[in-house]
Structure 1
Amino acid sequence: MDTLHYLALLVSILLIVYQHIRRNKIPHKNLPPSPPGLPIIGHFHVLKNPINQTLNNLSNKYGPILLLRLGSRPVLVVSSRSAIEECLTKNDIIFANRPRLPSRKIEHNLTGLGAPYGDLWRNLRRFSVLEIFSSKRLQLSASNRTEEIRLMTKHLFKSTFEGFREVDVKSLLYKLDFNIMMKMVTGKRCFEEEELATDIAKDKLDKLNHIFSPITPMAFGDYFPFLRWLTFYGAEKKIQEKHRKRDAFLQSLIDEHRKNNSSPSVTGGEIGRTLIDVMLKLQESEPEFYTDNMIKGMIQVMLIAGPHSTVITTESVLSSLMSHPEVFKTARDEIDNHVGQSRLIDDADLAKLPCLYCIINETLRLCPVVSVLPPHESSTECTVGGYHVPAGTQLLVNSGAVHMDPELWKDPEMFKPERFQQNEEEKVGCKFIPFGSGRRQCPGAGLATRLIALLLGTLIQCFEWEKAEEGSVKIIFQPREALTKVLGEL
């Protein structure tokens, strides 16, 4: 017990010293307003789920620019269009970093698109824009997306002949999206048609979702450095364990490509190129830059952000359409008018179907994948809204507050896709930012919207949908009678 007493006394002394240093370290300048905080922990006690609602409540009380303190880290929260634009346009370079958390140092993000702002990040961003998400690359990969969506459509159609009229949409969409992302990365799908409804596919999906889940536990040692030795064996250990599994999986993809000598396909035609093909070829000439860790970092971003965001958005769109049959009918009429009923919609048709994009945009406004954008961090001190912001301050952009601001949107709580069709100004500036803004804006926004539009268009064109009983994860579906012949030829 004596040892524990001494340990408790030592920790108490360290806490007091830390608080004294912290209070004297922050310059007494015009800081943003803050709610009352507690010693040591700061404002951790006020952050409750759902986090966006908590931030909305704080913003309503203290204003659209406020400063929180999470342990040792200052956090700036901005919840108005003008404040967000000031951070992500005027001060965009200053806030171009992601927080450097000790628990995440082992992750590939330090060598991927989550790398600190600088030459490495600029080169990675340029590579991703040109080789993955450019209009040319999206056109070349369109056949892959079409093929996988047709495979899913065929599976749904055949299921109705076996007596199945309900489907777990989320599970099916995850399988589809992992197939699409993996074909872009490796040229191979994860789930073959014959195993989509089997336990084997379920086990595969559970493993992939566990490894590439974007949700990770909070490591309190990131915010209380003096306690990191105590928290290391909790959340941080779980983060490291997930990283090891992820790293082994990604390395196996690279090793398999090397073993099979897949890189010659780079010269075999633009369409046949996969992400690993391209990066291994570049590794031959620039091995110091295109390291295996960098390649794994790029793949990791695609397999985490891609399926997760696409599935959540598509599921939200279907739910909204089933609650608004008049919007569903408008979208189907548009498809019938421009595509007809003798063939299925394909990627080339999307430019003629603005209603689809309006539905997607309105869903992203009302039901975004994240209502608070991934955090930024200031590299130097700056001014936002007349307030002093210290260097090293995390930035939380409360995009959900802007998307629901009645001064920016008429009837913001209503599902009205036509608002985007009537006025392109709705997407200008930081009024509509589901993919972020500035230098750290999601580079895959174009791929995501095209994929969701093609998927959504196919589901609207080919099937009738209705909600199952309350609380069920499944949706009732049946093939559209006018498309039965076309579906039977898949």
Structure 2
Amino acid sequence: MEAIGNGVLFFALLLAALTYGYAALSRRRRYDPPLPPGPRGLPLLGSLPFLRPDLHAHFDRLARDHGPLFSLRLGSKLAIVVSSPAIAREVLRDHDAVFANRDVPAAARILSYGGDAEIVWNPNGPTWRMLRRVCVREMLGPAWLDAVYALRRLEVRASVERIRSRAGSAVDVGVEMFLATMNAVTRTLWGSTLEEGDERSIEVGREFRMLVAEITELLGRPNVSDFFPAVAWMDLQGIQRQMRVLQHRFDQIFEEIIEMKKRKKQRGGSGEDFLELMLRLEKEGGDGKTPFTMTNVKALLMDMVVGGTETASNTVEWAMAEIVRKPEILRRVQAELNSVVGRDAVVEESHIFRLPYLSAVIKEVLRLHPALPLMVPHCPSATCVIGGYTVPAGARVFVNVWAIHRDPEIWKDPLDFRPERFVGVGEGGNQSWDFSGNDFRYLPFGSGRRICAGMVMAERMVAYMVATLVHSFEWQAAAEGNKEAAEEDMEEKFGIVMKKARPLVLVPTPTLAREDLYS
């Protein structure tokens, strides 16, 4: 009887504890802030059927109805969209550590060797910090960029020579800038592993262009596997299968280049490029705390090739499109270049630090046309309160930089291309507009610990290429049209990287004093 009595007492205590716990949980839930407001979706599908192709602009329109922080259900995923500087500050600075992780798309996980071997998708932690330290300190810092400037210069001058050979004919600026950027990035990565003029080098270059174009297209394509992770294994659209083929081909190319680099080093090659540095680190096993593997080597190469080409070349294309349609801006950039460089010399990267108006032009381009309009989505590791609302752990958080950069409450005449807003005292009295991410009204490269690792290189490359194009040639639209046609030519094509909907085709006319300056 005593045992029965003890059992009844234990059961009663357990029931009381559960009842108390449930009541406490109910009270806590009752007082927890709600989810951010947002559109009501359909059962199971949420807002998926109502999404528009121009996702950045679609989110901007929803923000006008639901506020600068709203939520929407995308299949089984909860998306949170941030559209104001104040809330962006909460996400990217006040709660930076919580939001420093990624919700890795299925296709990106395949491309990035599992999502935990490189910088972009790697979760915040020791491995990510080690990889970022390797890249920023060893490759993407000012000292390293200065050391390998000759390699970038070689590719920019080669581009000028190609354009000169087509003077008077139509040139697809985006294609030409992609080629120059890709060559500059790959030369920076592995120097002269592939000899100049070598047929294999040309073949690899063509294949890189094709692979990067296909990869960025797949990354920007809506994928059922991301909205319903439970069925990701089925790969209903075949996106993962296609990405696996592309990743395997890139992997083969990287292995070939790595083997060539190892053979060249054994023959006593001088100097150390970024690939050699990574191979040395891999051989040593890492930094003593975190291992550095061959997978890390190839994943970082993938980051640089895919992430460093499309973004920079598209920004140059947008810059040329804006400059050419505004003759007064073009003339002012030309006058500044003529004053600093002159017509009897060529632009050097060192000149760009003495071209304040050109710098303002680049900043204005990145305001109107940020390379990643929604940034790389963040994913909170813990539930937290943002802007008075609950943002659950595991949500996919978009920071709509495109909308912030076009907010009329922040920017005067936000749709006008006016570089003057970045000259001297900026709008709102800001005298220090830069790319650091400290002013949350202007975030072309993001902010916080996940700010773009390639920011310094991108800033240099874009300014150097735009300065060279404007200084070396006079540019004219291939087909002069009416004002409506000119406005249509500035239409955007949303994707993982913001592109022009229509290629920029211009006709160049040489302007330098001597023919040998084009060689």
Alignment pair present for 1:158 and 2:188: no
Match of 2:509 among 475, 478, 484: 478
Alignment pair present for 1:135 and 2:135: no
Q: Separation in 2 of the partners of 1:449 and 1:345? A: 16
Q: Separation in 1 of the partners of 2:189 and 2:503? A: 34
Is the 1:178–1:189 Cα contact (8 Å) retained in structure 2?
no
Q: Between 428-437 and 236-245, report the one with greater CA deviation.
A: 236-245
- The C-alpha deviation readout for 1:403-450, integer Å capped at 9, x for no partner, is 011121111111111111122344451111111111111011111111
- The C-alpha deviation readout for 1:225-245, integer Å capped at 9, x for no partner, is 333344356222222222222
- The C-alpha deviation readout for 1:148-192, integer Å capped at 9, x for no partner, is 1111112222333xxx52212111111111110110111138896
Q: Separation in 2 of the partners of 1:472 and 1:448? A: 21
Q: Between 207-216 and 60-69, report the one with greater CA deviation.
A: 207-216
Match of 1:386 among 368, 385, 388: 388
- Give the SS at the match of 1:148: helix
TM-fit CA distance, 1:373: 1.0
The residue aligned with 1:355 is: 357
Alignment pair present for 1:38 and 2:42: yes
For residues 190-209 of structure 1, the aligned pairs below 5 Å read 203-204=206-207, 206-209=209-212
Is the 2:107–2:218 Cα contact (8 Å) retained in structure 1?
no
TM-fit CA distance, 1:41: 1.3
Which ranges of structure 2 fall in alignment gaps of 5 or more residues? 1-25, 426-430, 482-501
* Equivalent residue letter for 2:338: D
The residue aligned with 2:285 is: 286
Q: Separation in 2 of the partners of 1:74 and 1:436? A: 22
Match of 1:397 among 396, 399, 414: 399
Is the 1:212–1:246 Cα contact (8 Å) retained in structure 2?
no
Alignment pair present for 1:331 and 2:330: no
The residue aligned with 1:110 is: 116
Gap change, CA 1:324 and 1:236, over 3 Å in 2: same
Gap change, CA 1:263 and 1:112, over 3 Å in 2: farther
Is the 1:175–1:191 Cα contact (8 Å) retained in structure 2?
no
Alignment pair present for 1:145 and 2:152: yes
Alignment pair present for 1:456 and 2:466: yes
The residue aligned with 2:51 is: 47
Match of 1:70 among 69, 74, 77: 74
Gap change, CA 1:191 and 1:156, over 3 Å in 2: farther
Which ranges of structure 1 fall in alignment gaps of 5 or more residues? 1-23
Identity score, percent: 28
Q: Separation in 1 of the partners of 2:185 and 2:259? A: 18
TM-fit CA distance, 1:194: 10
The residue aligned with 2:8 is: none
TM-fit CA distance, 1:139: 1.0
Is the 1:317–1:360 Cα contact (8 Å) retained in structure 2?
yes
For residues 91-490 of structure 1, the aligned pairs below 5 Å read 91-102=95-106, 104-106=108-110, 107-108=112-113, 109-113=115-119, 114-160=121-167, 165-188=169-192, 203-204=206-207, 206-210=209-213, 212-213=215-216, 215-216=218-219, 217-231=221-235, 234-261=238-265, 265=269, 268=270, 272-286=271-285, 289-423=291-425, 424-427=431-434, 428-469=438-479, 473-480=504-511, 482-487=512-517, 490=519
Match of 1:87 among 74, 86, 91: 91
Q: Separation in 1 of the partners of 2:52 and 2:338? A: 46
TM-fit CA distance, 1:102: 4.8
Gap change, CA 1:251 and 1:212, over 3 Å in 2: farther
Relative to the length of structure 1, the TM-score reads 0.86
* Equivalent residue letter for 1:451: M
TM-fit CA distance, 1:472: 6.9
Q: Separation in 1 of the partners of 2:283 and 2:414? A: 53
Relative to the length of structure 2, the TM-score reads 0.82
Gap change, CA 1:321 and 1:83, over 3 Å in 2: same
Q: Separation in 2 of the partners of 1:473 and 1:101? A: 31
Q: Between 277-286 and 224-233, report the one with greater CA deviation.
A: 224-233
Gap change, CA 1:362 and 1:135, over 3 Å in 2: same
Q: Between 423-432 and 345-354, report the one with greater CA deviation.
A: 423-432
Q: Separation in 2 of the partners of 1:70 and 1:487? A: 55
Which is higher, the Rg of structure 1 or of structure 2?
A: 2
TM-fit CA distance, 1:283: 1.6
Gap change, CA 1:257 and 1:452, over 3 Å in 2: same
- Give the SS at the match of 1:289: coil
Is the 2:477–2:507 Cα contact (8 Å) retained in structure 1?
yes
TM-fit CA distance, 1:205: 5.5
Q: Separation in 2 of the partners of 1:371 and 1:82? A: 18
Is the 2:374–2:399 Cα contact (8 Å) retained in structure 1?
yes
* Equivalent residue letter for 1:179: N
TM-fit CA distance, 1:264: 5.4
Q: How many pairs does the alignment contain?
A: 453
- The C-alpha deviation readout for 1:369-405, integer Å capped at 9, x for no partner, is 2221110100001110011111111110001111011
Q: Separation in 2 of the partners of 1:94 and 1:244? A: 33
Match of 1:59 among 56, 59, 63: 63
Q: Separation in 1 of the partners of 2:514 and 2:189? A: 34
The residue aligned with 1:12 is: none
- Give the SS at the match of 2:39: coil
Is the 1:83–1:384 Cα contact (8 Å) retained in structure 2?
yes
Q: Separation in 1 of the partners of 2:339 and 2:237? A: 60
The residue aligned with 1:5 is: none
Q: CA RMSD in A?
A: 2.6
Q: Between 86-95 and 422-431, report the one with greater CA deviation.
A: 422-431
Gap change, CA 1:273 and 1:433, over 3 Å in 2: same
Q: Separation in 1 of the partners of 2:367 and 2:267? A: 41
Is the 1:99–1:376 Cα contact (8 Å) retained in structure 2?
yes
The residue aligned with 1:6 is: none
